[in-house]
Amino acid sequence: MTVTTRFAPSPTGRLHVGNIRTALHNWMWAKKHGGRFLLRIDDTDAERSAEANVTAIRDDLAWLGLGWDGEARQSERFALYEERFAVLKAAGRVYPAYETAQELDLKRKVLLGRGLPPVYDRGALKLSDAERTAFDAEGRQPHWRFRLDHDTLIVWQDLIRGEQRFDPKLLSDPVIRRADGSWLYMLPSAIDDVEMGITHVVRGEDHVSNTAAQLQMFAALGAEAPQFAHEALLTGSEGKLSKRLGSLGVDHFREVGIEPVTLIAKLARIGTSDPVEAVTDPQPLIDSFDFAHFGRAPARFDEAELAQLNARIVHQLDYAVVADRLPAGMDEAAWVAVRPNLETVVQAADWWAVVEGPIAASDIGDEDRTYLVEAARAAAQIDWSADPWHALTGALKETTGRKGKPLFLPLRRALTGRDHGPDMAALLPLIGRDRALARLAAAA
């Protein structure tokens, strides 16, 4: 059996962090087992689906490095759904229901008012042929429901949640088709999972009751069901379900300078017993990915922690990985010099501007100005071909008696205009003799 997973977004908007996590875990599971990861665009809702969102979904997955092995679109598979629908209809597993939305809402309110679960009462199955004919005659179009088998307990072994048991009598027969003939999520998804050979479905725990109904759909279609893994939902840093998580997408993370591998490193381990690690290659995360490590408590997503992780990863990135994003003229030596002081790759441009100048003057006291006069004289005499920073500070320590902060800080301020930054031993050769002499003289 070839492990086959799928990511099935609806193109009604951009991907958010929850979607990205679902895509990632499906991708990782397939990659771990040498299987296939498929992209399925669930665009049965023609009114809300937009082609721009389809393009954005592909672009977002590509930016993350989540390549897919095949793609399908539900809008191109309607003939298949009609064929399977006809089979289920002939077997009595789907049936027309004529209640309006207002009538259904009233039924739910009555049940809730009695302290009962708002389960559909199957009123449509009690209609006589004459009543159906009358509805048809007045132009009322039915929606269609899948008829659950009330005599068979629904049981499955979830890869995260363990054994799951549902009494179908406590579930409403799911609506699978609207009165206008358009499809809802449940049945087309099950049909596609069968036809595409999906072996594992990884999704949020909010789909658990959907899975219970879909397992009966798989059986009615004469097909073996995939294995399911239902993950705990993400929460915000405040520990509650956050609306903000629904607005955090790839475009946001790119804008604030988060690396794709940072997002992968965070989302690969969030909600598991494994520590989040600052890796630059996702392969170790793939190798260790295991649903047995997932907990059932909500998984906490904290942007501040993500930013900290990003800095740790940026500090490890090789020049070849970032070269095409660096300012013109910035070579490997410059990248290695500034890398430890970066939180995002784009910040390298700030330090390259410090190297190339001009720099803003820093507040320097009179005592330090005298010191910098001596520094300019010493800088003109040292050997710049080896280690100019230690040659300069060594000479000044000997001639001025300064050491520690009084020795180093005035030099850093004069040469960079800042109090903190990369190791001056690495930065000074990049600034170079001529610019350094000019800056020391100007500061003095």
- pLDDT tens digits along 334-380: 999 999 999 999 999 999 999 999 998 777 888 999 999 999 999 99
Q: What residues form DSSP beta bridges with 228?
A: 201
Q: What is the pLDDT of residue 294?
A: 95
Q: Are residues 378 and 406 in the same domain?
A: yes
Binding-site residue positions for ATP: 243
DSSP state of 232: P
Complete DSSP assignment for 307-373: HHHHHHHHTT--HHHHGGGSPTT--HHHHHHHGGG-SSGGGHHHHHHHHHS--------HHHHHHHH
Q: What pLDDT shows up at residue 30?
A: 98
> Do 84 and 55 belong to one domain?
no
pLDDT in tens, 106-132: 999 999 999 999 999 999 999 999 999
Counting every residue, how long is the chain? Answer: 444
Q: Is 257 a member of any domain?
A: no
- Domains: count for the chain: 3
- pLDDT of amino acid 241: 59
Predicted confidence band of residue 299 (pLDDT cuts 50, 70, 90): confident
Q: Is the pLDDT of residue 392 over 90?
A: yes
Instruction: Mark the binding-site residues, compressed into ranges.
Output: 243
Inform me whether the pLDDT recorded for 205 exceeds 80.
Answer: yes
If asked whether residues 193 and 167 sit together in one domain, one would say: no
Cα distance between residue 72 and residue 74, in whole Å: 7
Is 172 inside any structural domain? yes
Same domain, 129 and 67: no
Q: Is the pLDDT of residue 190 over 70?
A: yes
The end-to-end CA distance of the chain, in Å, is 75
Task: Establish if 61 belongs to a structural domain.
Answer: yes
At 36-48, the pLDDT tens digits run 999 999 999 888 8
Q: What is the pLDDT of residue 384?
A: 95
Beta-carbon count within 10 A of 361 CB: 12
Same domain, 67 and 84: no
Residues 383 and 429 placed together within one structural domain of the fold = yes
**What stretch of H or E contains 231?**
strand 227-231
255 occurs within a structural domain: no
Are 45 and 114 within one domain?
A: no
Q: Residue 227 domain-assigned?
A: yes
Tell me: do 192 and 43 sit in the same domain. yes
Query: Could you tell me if 42 and 170 lie in one domain?
Result: no
Report, in this order, helix, strand and coil percent for the chain, each rounded to 5. Answer: 50, 10, 35
Domain span holding position 145: 80-177
Q: What's the CATH code of the domain at 192?
A: 3.40.50.620
Domain holding 152: CATH number?
3.90.800.10
pLDDT in tens, 220-236: 999 999 999 999 999 88
**Is 297 inside any structural domain?**
no
- pLDDT score of 14 more than 90: no
Neighbours of 440 (CB within 10 A): 23
Q: What residues pair up with 200 in beta bridges, in sequence order?
A: 227
Q: What's the burial of 2, exposed, middle or buried (CB within 10 Å: 0-12/13-18/19+)?
A: exposed
Position 177 scores a pLDDT of 97
Q: What is the CATH number of the domain that holds 439?
A: 1.10.10.350
86 with 225, same domain: the answer is no
